[in-house]
Amino acid sequence: TFSFGLAFQPRALPGLRINIDYFDIKIEDAIQNPNPDFTLLMCARTGDPQTCGRIQRDADGSLWQSVNGYVVDTFENIGEISTSGIDFDVSYALDLGGGARLGLDSVATLLDSLEFTPQAGVTYDCAGLYGSVCLVPAPEWRHKFDATWRTPWAGLDLTLSWRYFDEVKRD
């Protein structure tokens, strides 16, 4: 993991806090199961004996005509996952007088990349995508904004929240 951040609390605007953090995370030897389609493709392209060894054909040489033809896809430490982007955290608190306060808070992420390497030679950048390869949606931009009125009456606060997720496309 490589990350760094900047924090601002300007004296000219008391109650304002801004944090900006960059992150770059890489996981090597991630536990993955080799996708059978990729195994067939990589065997055909490279002829690698380890990759081709996962392919078990039936007596007729087929993978699909009987249950004896299959591709081994058990979990192994063969993958890699990496992600990078920028996190933003901004808040502003303002006294309204009479014991009331207004709090404005926002957190956001700008996702630069979200790469999955399920097996050697195959890498997908899933930023902005979801589906059969990328699975869960990974929007390139997302944020949450809260406006909270802390009333002068004990135990009563009102919050309005807005969550936004950028569009994602099917992989």
Distance between CA atoms of 54 and 99, rounded to whole angstroms? 69
Tens digits of pLDDT across the chain (171 residues) = 999 999 999 999 999 999 999 999 999 988 877 778 878 888 898 898 988 998 999 988 888 888 899 998 888 888 899 999 999 999 999 999 888 999 999 999 999 999 988 777 778 899 999 998 888 999 999 999 999 999 999 889 999 999 999 999 998
157 contacts: CB under 8 Å, gap ≥ 6: 148, 149, 150, 151
Both tokens of residue 69?
A: 């033809």
